Amino acid sequence: MHKKFENTQQWLDFDREHLWHPYTSMHSPLPCYPVVATDGAYIELADGQRLLDGMSSWWAAIHGYNHPVIRAALSEQLLTMPHIMFGGIAHPMASELGQRLIDITPEPLQHVFLADSGSIAIEVALKMALQYWQSLGHLNKRKLLTVRGGYHGDPFACMSVGDPDNGQHHLFTEVISKQVYAPRPTITFSEAWEPSDIDALRELLEQQHNDIAAVIIEPIVQGAVSMRFYHPSYLASLRQLCDEFSVLLIFDEIATGFGRTGELFAMSHADVCPDILAIGKALTGGTMTLAATLASRKVSQGISSGSAPMLMHGPTFMANPLACAAACASIDILLDESSEATYPEGWRNRISAIERSLKSLEQVADHPAVANVRVLGAIGVVQMHNLVDVAKVQARLVEKSVWVRPFGHLIYVMPPYILSAEQLSHLCTSIVDTIIELY
């Protein structure tokens, strides 16, 4: 029988000795800050200090923490049915969520697979694409094409379509499947479009389309590897190429969905629709783990026409009712423009206001240690010339009562949408001052 921890130091010591954290060594980990509560835009530490959250808990908690509408939805659902298997059983919250997702995504996407995490949504998307061609008798279409600089999750299939050289998974390059990699897009979001930017990808499709099942890409924003913003016309051209060469197109909107880039989904910047769409992170407002993979009728009918017509995937917590309730509430919060709404000016205007505030990061654009500053929607990025000392930068920001988690060469923010102008100013000023003080 274990003893209950009597104080903060006891459970913090246990954490240090026994619990693995993301991308962290067990024996020489980065510092962990003891969090005991969350409220709105703030994270409360064990000593009572409150940190302004600049990360939305890895881009998921778009409405901040403990939103009363989501909390009420969870409480109601908890009393009736917190979980039920989805095999052979239907429940109303899955249908409620499915209807919302179909309503807010492009019309061709009519079939919804409710997964239990973003990585699994990508696994399902890849499996859909491969099974589609197998069902149609194109057994040679087993490869996936992606662009360098991307990230699509940690499982092995997901790793295979991440950046093969500079991603998190370089240790596994000899054991993961070898896919087809095109150069990353080079024309930025705000530059003039040059059609030649996609020539290398076109050449790969021309040469290998008979073996390629699908192209998978993060629309507009290459997230966890580089936080780069590329031109919408790249997506429009990519859609045309996939149609021309009979290759499916998968969009990974797990990081960019639900308003983050200034459009409800990043693909809307290019006004294009994929054959398969993966979403997650902000789907439940960061309350619970849930994701979804949406497919067109063409894909679902193709899979169903094969000798094995069932889609070969089924997570234990697929379509968890509690998570579905949270997701329905979060979508309603985002889209509601009533007088009692969280965003009475509308979510789009709120994102525009955040973008204007984040542009104050450009104060350090000419700093000798800074390579680039870029802002899109509710994403602000300061790219340094050298690798960021995460522990040092983070400690200085915590001193300023701000929570930001740098990685690689980047000090970046993806804040909750509820931040006020004053809070956004404090967030950006803290980053600017930290860079000036430490560099």
273 pLDDT higher than 80:
yes
What integer is the mean pLDDT of 251-276?
Answer: 97
- The span from the CA of 280 to the CA of 323, in Å, is 11
Helix (H) or strand (E) holding 250: strand 248-252
Q: Which of 23, 199, 271, 298 is catalytic?
A: 23
To the query of whether residue 151 is one of the catalytic residues in this protein, the response is yes
Q: Which of 53, 116, 252, 275 is catalytic?
A: 252
- The span from the CA of 383 to the CA of 376, in Å, is 14
- The span from the CA of 49 to the CA of 45, in Å, is 5
What average pLDDT does the structure give for the chain? 93
Of 12-26, 274-288, 349-363, which gets the smallest average pLDDT?
12-26
**Residues with Cβ < 8 Å from 190, sequence gap 6 or more?**
none
Please, what are the domains in the chain? 8-66+346-438 (3.90.1150.10), 70-334 (3.40.640.10)
Please check whether residue 413 is in contact with residue 393, taking contact to mean a CB–CB distance below 8 angstroms: no
Residue 58 corresponds to which tokens in the numbers above?
């890895």
- The span from the CA of 438 to the CA of 430, in Å, is 12
Q: Which of 143, 197, 230, 281 is catalytic?
A: 281
What integer is the mean pLDDT of 385-402?
Answer: 96
Other Cβ atoms within 10 Å of 364 Cβ, number = 22
- The span from the CA of 242 to the CA of 109, in Å, is 17
Residue 323 corresponds to which tokens in the numbers above?
């998570």
With 0-12 CB in 10 A as exposed, 13-18 as middle and 19+ as buried, what is 345? exposed
Q: How many CA atoms lie within 13 A of 12 on its CB side?
A: 12
Residue 203 corresponds to which tokens in the numbers above?
């050449």
413 pLDDT higher than 70:
yes
Residue 12 corresponds to which tokens in the numbers above?
């913090």
pLDDT for 172 equals: 78
Residue with the larger pLDDT of the pair 266 and 315: 266
Name the DSSP letter for residue 407.
B
Cα angle 16, 40, 254 (rounded to 5 degrees) comes to 75
Helix 68-80 / helix 321-335 crossing angle, nearest 10 deg:
150
DSSP for 68-118?
A: HHHHHHHHHHHHH-S----TT---HHHHHHHHHHHHHS-TTEEEEEEESSH
Coil vs helix vs strand at 400: coil
What integer is the mean pLDDT of 261-267?
Answer: 97
Band of pLDDT at residue 168, cut at 50, 70 and 90: low
**Residues with Cβ < 8 Å from 14, sequence gap 6 or more?**
5
Q: Which of 42, 65, 132, 151 is catalytic?
A: 151
**Residues with Cβ < 8 Å from 299, sequence gap 6 or more?**
111, 128, 129, 132, 248, 275, 276
Handedness of CA 174, 180, 183, 187 (dihedral sign): negative
Could you tell me the maximum CA-CA distance found in the chain, to the nearest angstrom?
A: 66
To the query of whether residue 127 is one of the catalytic residues in this protein, the response is no
pTM: 0.94
To the query of whether residue 132 is one of the catalytic residues in this protein, the response is no
68 pLDDT higher than 80:
yes
Of 18-27, 48-57, 252-261, 317-326, which gets the smallest average pLDDT?
18-27
Cα angle 377, 383, 384 (rounded to 5 degrees) comes to 160
To the query of whether residue 23 is one of the catalytic residues in this protein, the response is yes
Please check whether residue 135 is in contact with residue 303, taking contact to mean a CB–CB distance below 8 angstroms: yes
**Residues with Cβ < 8 Å from 143, sequence gap 6 or more?**
179, 180, 208, 211, 212, 213
- The span from the CA of 280 to the CA of 286, in Å, is 9
What integer is the mean pLDDT of 261-285?
Answer: 97
- The span from the CA of 55 to the CA of 35, in Å, is 15
Q: Which of 354, 353, 369 is nearest to 434 (CA)?
A: 369
> Of all residues in the chain, what percent carry a pLDDT higher than 70?
99
